[in-house]
Chains A and B, each alone.
Chain A
């Protein structure tokens, strides 16, 4: 019961943004900044413990309750789903999911089944399901932009920040799928069993964003 509240951070940019936020609140994040290769780090004056993990794993750890809270992108949440509370839109890590095709391509024309390449098969499937469109989804691990260029897919569903990669490869966004930003998620039991501690932290975070 007395272990510190554990917060799982998505390694990389979201981790940096979250550490900035925690420092703005006034927590001492020296250990996290000078982490070396350690993966569990104390944030002393907040009775917090930061755990560094890949985005998908942040959700897994929070779902199982071995981490009480997590910071993860809406993109991962949409793809992974899962049971947790999604309490706060942290406002950073903004980008969007978009549908893109080769420039000048009329994606919706004809009655043939479209092939979509994506790193986010669940997001792509549910987007087209809502339109009542049968599509073939192909999971790609690396640069999704390649698939339409090589003729494997008619379009891609992917994260777009500035759109530079798309432009430089002759692709264009034809439709927005969803807006994305970092979210604070909380385990459903932790929020109840450690309500006072977690609510205090959530209030501090809420009053220090945007």
Chain B
């Protein structure tokens, strides 16, 4: 039998030294931002019943979940996402809590990715959920927290805003089956213009199909709103309302974003259309080929667990950010050992006392484990420890 006792499973890895410092550093900065805004941490169970995710099975396809059975034969998954478990808790234990609730999390999620694609199956995410308000201020608070999160990394970033309502409104005016609707959605998501045009032509040419064809091209800066106004059918009051709402969000977000970052718009963001109900956004970092922040408003999700309450939130991919930091070569210094304390025979207690004294002065101090002073000198030279203190000499 082949033994796999020297490696970790596909899609996972051990983190060492600088990698840990970088990752914990990013985690701490982000959770500092969240808690500074009144969000409190929540840790959900690492194992969940499959049923929690089967409600939204389209977004958690079973082939992407790590599954096992419990002792009663029930299907268990290793947490693939944090928002669904949090929605479950809100609908149960937090049902009587005073709203709004501000929650944050920092935990791993697990999804089986395609093999040999260089993707992780174990992803550290931090994120927030703002529960109990459907106000503009709630959307702005969450977006500003996302902006602040990326800004704190000191790299070029972009936050991109969209609104799921535009697609939903347009497609609802088309006489299409669920499957056809999904195909249109996928073509828009992939900005697959040639196929989208051909496919929509089969529904005849109307102001609605024209608008849907142009939807994936509606991305960029503020001018996108003007282009959108021209494109949408004249009687779409709902979409006009959404556009003017987006303009407001955009201008406030741009104002607090300031230099270093960029707020943009993509009205063709149509991912997870059954999950999101309003504003959606993504965050990008220069140097990473996929989004590092993903969020939006999901007013219907908690209701699926039996408690109808609006919510908005986002998740940050901490692993992706850490990799960008490593790639950019901004490596943190490992803690330097300032001194090593050597104990002459019979002076062991003195050695620990001395080491503690030095630590109280703010130094990082090791105790020598060898009884041979020459080998300790050699070790100190190798590890570049400048100072050797010998307990029992000057005491």
Measured between beta carbons, the chain A residues less than 8 angstroms from B10 are none
**Interface set, chain B 255-300, CB cutoff 8 A to A:** 264, 266, 284, 286, 288-291
**Interface set, chain A 45-85, CB cutoff 8 A to B:** 60, 63-66, 83-85
Contact-residue size bin, chain B (C-beta under 8 Å from the other chain): 20 to 34
A87 adjacent to B286 (CB under 8 Å): no
A64 adjacent to B118 (CB under 8 Å): yes
> Which of B15-23, B49-57, B188-196 lies at the interface?
B188-196
Q: A60-B118, A64-B289 are in contact. List 6 more A-B contacts (CB 8 A).
A: A86-B192, A86-B195, A188-B291, A189-B291, A192-B284, A195-B264
Measured between beta carbons, the chain B residues less than 8 angstroms from A191 are 191, 219
Measured between beta carbons, the chain B residues less than 8 angstroms from A84 are 190
Measured between beta carbons, the chain A residues less than 8 angstroms from B129 are none
Residue A187 is within 8 A (CB to CB) of chain B in the complex: yes
**Interface set, chain B 143-173, CB cutoff 8 A to A:** 156, 158, 160
Measured between beta carbons, the chain A residues less than 8 angstroms from B195 are 86
Measured between beta carbons, the chain B residues less than 8 angstroms from A63 are 117, 289
Q: How far is the CB of B189 from chain A (nearest CB, A)?
A: 9
Q: Which of A65, A88, A186 contacts B194 (CB 8 A)?
A: A88
**Interface set, chain A 159-210, CB cutoff 8 A to B:** 183, 186-193, 195
Q: Which of B118, B190, B286 contacts A193 (CB 8 A)?
A: B286
A189 adjacent to B193 (CB under 8 Å): no
Contact-residue size bin, chain A (C-beta under 8 Å from the other chain): 20 to 34
Measured between beta carbons, the chain B residues less than 8 angstroms from A192 are 158, 160, 219, 264, 266, 284
B286 adjacent to A195 (CB under 8 Å): no
Residue B306 is within 8 A (CB to CB) of chain A in the complex: no
B192 adjacent to A189 (CB under 8 Å): no
Residue A17 is within 8 A (CB to CB) of chain B in the complex: no
Measured between beta carbons, the chain B residues less than 8 angstroms from A86 are 190-195
A188 adjacent to B290 (CB under 8 Å): yes
Q: How far is the CB of B76 from chain A (nearest CB, A)?
A: 28
User: Are A189 and B290 also in contact (CB < 8 A) when A64-B118, A195-B220 are?
Assistant: yes
B221 to A, closest residue via Cβ: A195
Q: Residues of B at under 8 Å CB distance from A?
A: 117-118, 156, 158, 160, 190-195, 219-220, 264, 266, 284, 286, 288-291
User: Which 6 residue pairs across A and B have the least CB separation, nearest first?
Assistant: A65-B289, A89-B194, A85-B191, A86-B192, A64-B289, A189-B284
Measured between beta carbons, the chain B residues less than 8 angstroms from A150 are none
Measured between beta carbons, the chain A residues less than 8 angstroms from B291 are 188-189
CA distance A64 to B114 in the complex (A): 13
Per-position 1/0 for A138-164, Cβ under 8 A of B: 000000000000000000000000000
Measured between beta carbons, the chain A residues less than 8 angstroms from B219 are 191-192, 195
B220 to A, closest residue via Cβ: A195
Interface SS of chain A: mixed
Measured between beta carbons, the chain A residues less than 8 angstroms from B289 are 63-66, 187-190
Measured between beta carbons, the chain B residues less than 8 angstroms from A1 are 156, 286
CA distance A60 to B289 in the complex (A): 11
CA distance A175 to B191 in the complex (A): 28
A186 to B, closest residue via Cβ: B191
CA distance A122 to B266 in the complex (A): 31
Measured between beta carbons, the chain A residues less than 8 angstroms from B264 are 192, 195
Q: How far is the CB of A102 from chain B (nearest CB, A)?
A: 33
A88 adjacent to B193 (CB under 8 Å): yes
CA distance A187 to B192 in the complex (A): 13
**Interface set, chain A 1-32, CB cutoff 8 A to B:** 1
CA distance A187 to B288 in the complex (A): 10
B216 to A, closest residue via Cβ: A85
CA distance A84 to B189 in the complex (A): 9
Measured between beta carbons, the chain A residues less than 8 angstroms from B290 are 65, 83, 188-189
CA distance A189 to B194 in the complex (A): 21
Measured between beta carbons, the chain A residues less than 8 angstroms from B220 are 195
Q: Which of B117, B190, B284, B288 contacts A85 (CB 8 A)?
A: B190
A181 to B, closest residue via Cβ: B194
Q: How far is the CB of B163 from chain A (nearest CB, A)?
A: 17
B117 adjacent to A60 (CB under 8 Å): yes
Measured between beta carbons, the chain A residues less than 8 angstroms from B194 are 86, 88-89, 183
A90 to B, closest residue via Cβ: B194
Measured between beta carbons, the chain A residues less than 8 angstroms from B191 are 85-87, 186, 191
Per-position 1/0 for A83-119, Cβ under 8 A of B: 1111111000000000000000000000000000000
CA distance A85 to B264 in the complex (A): 18
CA distance A61 to B316 in the complex (A): 23
Q: How far is the CB of A80 from chain B (nearest CB, A)?
A: 9
CA distance A209 to B191 in the complex (A): 19
B160 to A, closest residue via Cβ: A192
CA distance A66 to B117 in the complex (A): 13
CA distance A60 to B118 in the complex (A): 9
A87 adjacent to B156 (CB under 8 Å): no
CA distance A86 to B192 in the complex (A): 5
Q: List 13 A-B contacts (CB under 8 A).
A: A64-B289, A66-B289, A85-B190, A85-B191, A86-B194, A88-B193, A189-B291, A192-B158, A192-B160, A192-B219, A193-B158, A195-B219, A195-B264
Measured between beta carbons, the chain B residues less than 8 angstroms from A83 are 290
Measured between beta carbons, the chain B residues less than 8 angstroms from A188 are 289-291
